[in-house]
């Protein structure tokens, strides 16, 4: 099984990489820091997804000898600050959307242009894109855009099954900021994350990754382009 994962240096992407290598997959990874795992099954490349101009070259270098992809996980993402949307600078919003949305567009465009046979694409989204809670502005908007974009690509990739997928709560660096630095009096929606931390409602990254991988076949039974939240399955 050949799998491309973005953002595999930490968190869910690292958990997915570990879980897939355990299942004897070949993992093709892309992140700034690089994946810390040493494995013959790993082909890894360091790249900043914010550098959209050089992203096609990075993909060319990474995937030059890849003949087909069974799974692509568009996982890399940033949260930005929890703050009023009206106080979010446009430059910060643009940067966040470049990573959470446009980099994923370029990856899908590259796959189409290079006619690399690809069975399934999972874009890691978030319930935040649906909830649109106070304070989650830039991140929520980026995930909402991602959901819509995946639906659009479903029309243009008829041989690939695409899902935008909310993985539920996962105990990663992203939760460090949310659970330790955000004032829940000002942003009450963050309280349920604090309550979930340390419980089964917020598994560690490798457990969450295994749960997600076990659902891949099930996801392909639904229509391509749909948004699916793991908590509704």
Ligand X SMILES: NC(=O)c1ccc[n+]([C@@H]2O[C@H](COP(=O)([O-])OP(=O)(O)OC[C@H]3O[C@@H](n4cnc5c(N)ncnc54)[C@H](OP(=O)(O)O)[C@@H]3O)[C@@H](O)[C@H]2O)c1
Q: How far is the CB of 158 from ligand X (least distance, A)?
A: 26
Among 104, 175, 182, 190, binds ligand X (CB under 6 A): 175
Identify which of residues 69 and 76 has a Cβ nearer to ligand X in the complex.
76
DSSP letters of the chain?
-EEEEES-SSHHHHHHHHHHHHTT-EEEEEESS------TTEEEEE--TT-GGGHHHHHHHHHTT---EEEEEE--------S-GGGS-HHHHHHHHIIIIIHHHHHHHHHHHTT--EEEEEEE--THHHH--TT-HHHHHHHHHHHHHHHHHHHH-TTSEEEEEE----BSHHHHHHHHHS-TTT-GGGHHHHHHTTSTTS-BHHHHHHHHHTTHHHHTTSPTTEEEEGGG-
| 118 contacts ligand X (rule: CB under 6 A) | no
Terminal-residue alpha carbon distance, the chain: 25
Identify which of residues 117 and 198 has a Cβ nearer to ligand X in the complex.
198
Stretch that binds ligand X, among 46-54, 107-115, 211-219, 220-228 (CB under 6 A): 46-54
| 210 contacts ligand X (rule: CB under 6 A) | no
Stretch that binds ligand X, among 114-122, 151-159, 173-181, 214-222 (CB under 6 A): 173-181
| 32 contacts ligand X (rule: CB under 6 A) | yes
| 231 contacts ligand X (rule: CB under 6 A) | no
Identify which of residues 152 and 201 has a Cβ nearer to ligand X in the complex.
201
Residues 201/169, Cβ–Cβ less than 8 Å: yes
Number of residues that bind ligand X (CB under 6 A): 28
Identify which of residues 115 and 200 has a Cβ nearer to ligand X in the complex.
200
Identify which of residues 22 and 130 has a Cβ nearer to ligand X in the complex.
130
Whole-angstrom CA distances from 63 to 28, 53, 202 are 8, 17, 33
Identify which of residues 32 and 192 has a Cβ nearer to ligand X in the complex.
32
Provide the CA 111 distance to its chain's centre, in angstroms.
17
Identify which of residues 68 and 94 has a Cβ nearer to ligand X in the complex.
94
Residues numbered 63-82 forming contacts with ligand X, rule: CB under 6 A? 75-78
Distance CA 62, CA 133 (A): 38
Comparing every residue's Cβ against ligand X, the nearest one is 11
Q: How far is the CB of 189 from ligand X (least distance, A)?
A: 13
Among 37, 50, 93, 106, binds ligand X (CB under 6 A): 50
List contacts with ligand X (CB under 6 A): 7-13, 31-33, 48-50, 75-78, 99, 124, 126, 166-167, 169-170, 172-175
């Amino acid at each position: 099984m050949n799998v491309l994962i973005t953002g595999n240096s930490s968190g869910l992407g690292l958990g997915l990489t570990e879980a897939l290598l355990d299942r004897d997959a070949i993992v093709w990874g892309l992140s700034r820091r690089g994946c810390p795992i040493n494995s013959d099954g790993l082909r890894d490349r360091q790249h900043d997804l914010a550098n959209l101009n050089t992203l096609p070259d990075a993909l060319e270098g990474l995937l030059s000898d890849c003949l087909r992809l069974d799974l692509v996980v568009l996982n890399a993402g940033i949260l930005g600050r929890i703050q009023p949307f009206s106080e979010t600078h446009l430059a910060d919003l643009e940067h966040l959307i470049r990573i959470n949305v446009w980099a994923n567009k370029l990856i899908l465009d590259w796959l189409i242009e290079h006619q690399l046979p690809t069975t399934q694409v999972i874009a890691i989204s978030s319930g935040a894109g649906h909830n649109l809670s106070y304070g989650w502005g830039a991140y929520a908007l980026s995930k909402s855009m991602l959901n819509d974009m995946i639906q659009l690509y479903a029309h243009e990739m008829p041989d690939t099954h695409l899902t935008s997928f909310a993985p539920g709560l996962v105990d990663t660096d992203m939760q460090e900021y949310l659970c330790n630095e955000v004032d829940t009096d000002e942003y009450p929606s963050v309280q349920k994350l604090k309550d979930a931390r340390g419980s089964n409602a917020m598994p560690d990254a490798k457990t969450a990754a295994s749960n997600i991988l076990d659902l891949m076949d099930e996801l392909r039974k639904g229509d391509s382009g749909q948004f699916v939240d793991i908590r509704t399955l």
